[in-house]
Amino acid sequence: MLYNRILLAVDLTDESIKVAHKAVALCQGAGAELIMLHVIESLNYAYTGDVPIDITNIQDQLKETAQERISILEAQLDIPFTETFITQGGIESEIHRIAEEQKADLIVVGSHCRHGLALLLGSTSNGVLHGAPCDVLAVKVSP
């Protein structure tokens, strides 16, 4: 089965380039379109409730920094992106939403090797896998 629309979900850490190269190779092999997504976890969501201060400026700075890092990542790759998204909210739910809206047939995410308590509590790649509207490829990255 070949993929037509691949969604690359990146956390913009240093390991993102390894995940991106894997997605690019898949796109080139299948002739697929590549969509990039970065989700900024809402501070309200991260702290499971209302934050008693105005966090608008902080969220704007996070989005600006994410756009800069995405531009750097795009410049390192040999493929044009069909679209690039920076969204805010719950990471897994936003990845699912964008994958569904964009009719992606594969989601590529990085998987940090978790052990012990972190493994029991789950990971983003595991959360993406459960409930995804399409196939998911978790690319193993070193801690």
User: Which H/E stretch holds residue 108?
Assistant: strand 106-112
| pLDDT at residue 65 greater than cutoff 90 | yes
**Tens-digit pLDDT profile for residues 71-80:** 999 999 978 8
Q: What domain range includes position 29?
A: 5-141
Q: Which tokens belong to 71?
A: 């531009």
**Tens-digit pLDDT profile for residues 6-30:** 999 999 988 899 999 999 999 998 8
User: In this structure, what CATH number is given to the domain that contains residue 30?
Assistant: 3.40.50.620
- Please tell me the predicted confidence (pLDDT) of residue 76: 93
The whole-number average pLDDT for the span 37-53 is: 69
Q: Residue 10 corresponds to which amino acid?
A: V
The domain tally of the chain equals 1
Q: Residue 119 corresponds to which amino acid?
A: L
Neighbours of 41 (CB within 10 A): 16
- Please tell me the predicted confidence (pLDDT) of residue 114: 52
Mean confidence (pLDDT) of the chain: 84
100 backbone φψ class: left, alpha, beta (φ>0; ψ -120 to 50): alpha
Higher-scoring residue by pLDDT: 137, 127? 137
Q: Which tokens belong to 93?
A: 């739910």
> What pTM was estimated for this model as a whole?
0.84
Higher-scoring residue by pLDDT: 58, 132? 132
Which residues are bridge partners to 36 per DSSP?
Answer: 8, 84
Spell out the residues 6+ positions from residue 60 whose beta carbon is closer than 8 angstroms to its own.
none
SS3 of 48, please?
A: coil
Percent of the chain with pLDDT over 90: 56
